[in-house]
């Protein structure tokens, strides 16, 4: 085993361990802040190693000692762009702004430490990556969201924005289910209530439900109060409908500025592979943007709105699986690469 691989294993194990502690902390915050438990939080879960937990199920109960399970950012190997690249122009509704090629060697620039300290406990909740190391005695294997991940093997996160959209969304989930893989759906809050069964299926099948604001508002044009409201309302409606509160968000259009980066108060996930599926509406074009171009740690941007994207997914998923890629959620990707996601920080990939 190479030194690099050993480091990666150690950091991943530390991150997963920390996530379990932080999950307890998050649960504590939920209990103490509202007393209104989201569906699926298993207060009696024991956290037995090797047990597969359903999404949102608490691996173990919180205790006073858990409160001191402080996560130290490992430094990881996450690549990200300088947030000064933020001044992307506003474009038409549902038109994502392509992000320039990331600089893999760039260190993540911590953003607004003081703002991060002001976030509410619930918005700071760590993803429900229910993982335990050492499956069958193999430290490389972790159980997460109902299936096993080998942290030493390549993995990518396929992400779908702007849903829920029932027809394409269910078709996309059919493919992921067939191959035992997981996706991340960045959803617009006001589209969620009328598509409850689709969103609940996401939870049941181990996908990650993520925040894309309540009404797809370009937050760089909003004031601080609006930014906070757009983010919180999206989390609220998803939690109300699906029983799971998102822990990551994506900015509509990728548009950000300093006010956004002080008020989102969640980890901000962008992408490093843009399929331009919204523009081409062509399945083969979307396939070509991914297959042959994707590498370990990449985050791929697609949109749930289009039948062509669903059709592309029907080729992309089996092809990538056949090439040895594991398709994981964004939070899983971060955890497996030893990255502790931090509110108000922008991530483009997890190399």
Beta bridge partners, 161, equal 186, 303
* Angle between helix 166-178 and 196-204 (nearest 10): 20
Of the residues 207, 212, 216, 303, which is catalytic?
Answer: 303
Q: Is 162 a catalytic residue?
A: no
Beta bridge partners, 143, equal 148
Q: How far is the CB of 254 from Zn ion (least distance, A)?
A: 9
Q: Which is nearer to Zn ion, 41 or 310 (CB)?
A: 310
Q: Is 27 a catalytic residue?
A: no
Q: How far is the CB of 252 from Zn ion (least distance, A)?
A: 5
How far is 246 from 309, CA to CA, in rounded Å? Answer: 23
The answer to whether 344 and 112 are in contact (CB under 8 A) is yes
Q: Write the interaction track for Zn ion spanning residues 274-313; mark x where CB under 5 A is met and - where it is not.
A: ----------------------------------------
The answer to whether 271 and 159 are in contact (CB under 8 A) is yes
- Taking CB under 5 A as the binding criterion, the range among 61-69, 153-161, 173-181, 319-327 that sits at the site for Zn ion is 153-161
How far is 187 from 275, CA to CA, in rounded Å? Answer: 18
* Angle between helix 307-322 and 283-290 (nearest 10): 30
Q: How far is the CB of 171 from Zn ion (least distance, A)?
A: 19
The answer to whether residue 198 forms part of the interface with Zn ion (CB under 5 A) is no
Q: Which is nearer to Zn ion, 206 or 252 (CB)?
A: 252
The pair of structure tokens assigned to 207 is: 């996908």
Q: How far is the CB of 162 from Zn ion (least distance, A)?
A: 4
The answer to whether residue 189 forms part of the interface with Zn ion (CB under 5 A) is no
What is the separation, in whole angstroms, between the first and last Cα of the chain? 18
Size of residue set near Zn ion by CB under 5 A: 3
The answer to whether residue 252 forms part of the interface with Zn ion (CB under 5 A) is yes
Q: Which residues are catalytic?
A: 161, 303
Binding site for Zn ion (CB under 5 A): 161-162, 252
């Amino acid at each position: 085993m190479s030194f690099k691989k050993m480091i990666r294993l150690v950091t991943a194990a530390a991150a997963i361990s920390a996530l379990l502690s932080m999950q307890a902390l998050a649960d504590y915050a939920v209990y103490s802040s509202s007393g209104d438990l989201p569906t699926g939080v298993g207060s009696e879960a024991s956290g037995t190693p090797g047990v597969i937990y359903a999404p949102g199920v608490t691996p173990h109960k919180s205790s006073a000692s858990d409160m001191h399970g402080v996560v130290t950012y490992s430094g990881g190997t996450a690549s990200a762009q300088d947030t000064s690249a933020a001044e992307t122009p506003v474009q038409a509704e549902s038109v994502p702004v392509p992000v320039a090629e990331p600089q893999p060697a760039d260190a993540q620039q911590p953003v607004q430490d003081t703002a991060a300290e002001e976030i509410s406990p619930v918005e700071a909740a760590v993803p429900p990556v229910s993982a335990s190391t050492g499956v069958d005695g193999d430290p490389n294997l972790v159980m997460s969201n109902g299936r096993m991940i080998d942290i030493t093997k390549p993995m990518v996160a396929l992400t779908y924005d702007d849903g829920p959209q029932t027809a394409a969304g269910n078709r996309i989930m059919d493919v992921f289910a067939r191959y035992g893989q997981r996706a991340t759906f960045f959803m617009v809050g006001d589209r969620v209530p009328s598509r409850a069964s689709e969103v609940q299926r996401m939870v049941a099948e181990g996908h990650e439900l993520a925040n894309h604001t309540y009404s797809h508002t370009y937050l760089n044009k909003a004031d601080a109060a609006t930014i906070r409201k757009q983010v919180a309302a999206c989390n609220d409606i998803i939690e109300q409908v699906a029983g799971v509160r998102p822990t990551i968000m994506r900015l509509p259009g990728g548009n950000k500025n300093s006010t956004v980066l002080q008020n989102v108060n969640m980890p901000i996930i962008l992408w490093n592979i843009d399929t331009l599926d919204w523009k081409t509406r062509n399945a083969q074009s979307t396939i070509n943007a991914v297959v042959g171009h994707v590498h370990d740690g990449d985050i791929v941007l697609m949109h749930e709105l289009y039948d062509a994207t669903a059709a592309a997914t029907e080729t992309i998923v089996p092809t990538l699986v056949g090439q040895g890629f594991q398709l994981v959620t964004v939070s899983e990707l971060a955890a497996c690469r030893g990255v502790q996601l931090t509110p108000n920080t922008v991530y483009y990939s997890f190399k």
